[in-house]
C-alpha cells in the first residue's frame, strides 16, 4: 500500500515539473527569437550598403586605374551613404557626382580615388583640403594620413560636415569656415594640398603653404566648362606639372572668382 502511495506521489511530482517546464518555454525562447530578429535586421542593413560599396570599388575603381591598395581599402570601408542627402542615399555608390545643396556636389567616387592616389600620401603627412563639401573626401584622407585640415566657404556646409565627421568619430580632421583661396597659414606648411573645386589659376597662397617636394592637385581651367585635373609638385622655386585627366568641377568661389 505504501509503495503504491509513493508511486502516486512521484507521478504528481513529475507532472508538476512538466507543467513548470511547459510554462517556462516561452520565457526561454523569447530572448533567442529576439536575438535572431536583431541579427537578421543587422545583416539586411549590412547587405544593403556593403554590396554596392564593394561593387563600386571593383567596377569603378579597380577596373580603371586605381591600384593603390590603401586607397582601395579605405574607399571600401567608408560608408559613403552617410555623406549624401537622405533622399539620394540609394544613389550614394553610383558612378557620378551628387548634389549636396548650395550649388555644391560630392565628387564621383572614381575622382575622389584618383585625386587621393595621385598625391602619393604617407601616414605621417599633414594635408590641406580646399572645399570640404559633405566631408567625404576629408574622411578618405583622414584614414590615410596623420592630420587633415579642410576649409569650406559655405558656413552651412562647413557646420554640417564638422558635425558629421565628429559623429563618425574622426579625431584628426579640423574644419574651418573660410575662403580656401588663402589657405590655412597658421597650420602651414602642408605635405599635400587637394583642391576640390575648379579655378583658372593656382592660388598663390596655397603654393606658398606647400612644403618643398609637396604635391598639390587641382581641377585647372575654365570654370564655365571642362578642366584638366593637374598635379603640381613643388621643387624649390620650380613647379613640375602633370596632367591627369579631363574633369568638370563646380567653381572655386570667393577670391578665386575675382581673378
Q: Are 89 and 215 contained in the same domain?
A: yes
Residue 250 belongs to a domain with what CATH number?
A: 3.40.50.150
Q: Are residues 102 and 181 in the same domain?
A: yes
pLDDT at 196 over 80: yes
Is residue 70 domain-shared with residue 127, that is, in the same domain?
yes
Percentage of the chain exceeding pLDDT 70: 82
Query: Is the predicted pLDDT of residue 165 greater than 90, yes or no?
Result: yes
Q: What is the DSSP letter of 162?
A: H
At 38 the pLDDT is: 40
Cell matching residue 84: 549624401
Which of the four pLDDT bands, split at 50, 70 and 90, describes residue 226?
A: very high
Greatest CA separation for the chain: 114
> From the candidates 107, 118, 134, 160, which is the catalytic residue?
107
Same domain for 104 and 25: no
What are the tens digits of pLDDT across the range 8-34? Answer: 555 666 566 665 555 554 444 444 333
Confidence class for position 238, pLDDT limits 50, 70, 90: very high
Instruction: Give the integer Cα–Cα distance in Å for 114 and 122.
Output: 16
pLDDT band at 254 (very low <50, low <70, confident <90, very high): very high
Give the position of cell 556593403. 50
Q: What is the chain's mean pLDDT, rounded? A: 88
The pLDDT of residue 41: 47
User: Is 174 in the same domain as 107?
Assistant: yes
Burial of 108-142, coded b for 16+ CB within 10 Å and e otherwise, reads bbbbbbbbbbbbebeeebbbbbbbbbbbbbbbbbb
Residues 97, 223, single domain; the answer is: yes
Residue 144 has pLDDT above 50, yes or no: yes
**Average pLDDT, stretch 75-95?**
97
Residue 72: CB partners within 8 Å, gap ≥ 6?
A: 57, 61, 62, 66, 113
Q: Are 118 and 222 members of one domain? A: yes
Instruction: Say what the pLDDT of residue 44 is.
Output: 45
* Domain membership of residue 56 as a residue range: 1-63
Q: What pLDDT, on a 0 to 100 scale, did the predictor assign at position 26?
A: 47
Domain total in the chain: 2
Indicate whether 166 and 111 sit together in one domain. Answer: yes
Segments of 29-188 assigned E as strands: 98-101, 104-106, 126-130, 147-152, 173-177
What's the pLDDT score for residue 30? 41
Is 107 an annotated catalytic residue?
yes
Amino acid at each position: 500500500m505504501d509503495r503504491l502511495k509513493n508511486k502516486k506521489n512521484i507521478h504528481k511530482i513529475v507532472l508538476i515539473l512538466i507543467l513548470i517546464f511547459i510554462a517556462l518555454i516561452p520565457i526561454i525562447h523569447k530572448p533567442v527569437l529576439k536575438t535572431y530578429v536583431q541579427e537578421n535586421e543587422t545583416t539586411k542593413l549590412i547587405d544593403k550598403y556593403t554590396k554596392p560599396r564593394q561593387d563600386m570599388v571593383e567596377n569603378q575603381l579597380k577596373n580603371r586605374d586605381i591600384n593603390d591598395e590603401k586607397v582601395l581599402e579605405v574607399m571600401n570601408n567608408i560608408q559613403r551613404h552617410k555623406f549624401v542627402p537622405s533622399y539620394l542615399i540609394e544613389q550614394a555608390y553610383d558612378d557620378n557626382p551628387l548634389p549636396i545643396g548650395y550649388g555644391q556636389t560630392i565628387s564621383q567616387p572614381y575622382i575622389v580615388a584618383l585625386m587621393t592616389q595621385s598625391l602619393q600620401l604617407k601616414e605621417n603627412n599633414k594635408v590641406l583640403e580646399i572645399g570640404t563639401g559633405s566631408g567625404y573626401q576629408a574622411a578618405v584622407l583622414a584614414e590615410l594620413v596623420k592630420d587633415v585640415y579642410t576649409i569650406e566657404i559655405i558656413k552651412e556646409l562647413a557646420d554640417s560636415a564638422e558635425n558629421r565627421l565628429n559623429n563618425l568619430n574622426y579625431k584628426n580632421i579640423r574644419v574651418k569656415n573660410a575662403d580656401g583661396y588663402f589657405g590655412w597659414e597658421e597650420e602651414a606648411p602642408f605635405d599635400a594640398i587637394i583642391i576640390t573645386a575648379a579655378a583658372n589659376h593656382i592660388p598663390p597662397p596655397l603654393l606658398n603653404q606647400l612644403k618643398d617636394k609637396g604635391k598639390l592637385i587641382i581641377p585647372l581651367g575654365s570654370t564655365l566648362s571642362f578642366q584638366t585635373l593637374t598635379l603640381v609638385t613643388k621643387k624649390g622655386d620650380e613647379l613640375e606639372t602633370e596632367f591627369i585627366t579631363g574633369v568638370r568641377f563646380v567653381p572655386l568661389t570667393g577670391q578665386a572668382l575675382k581673378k
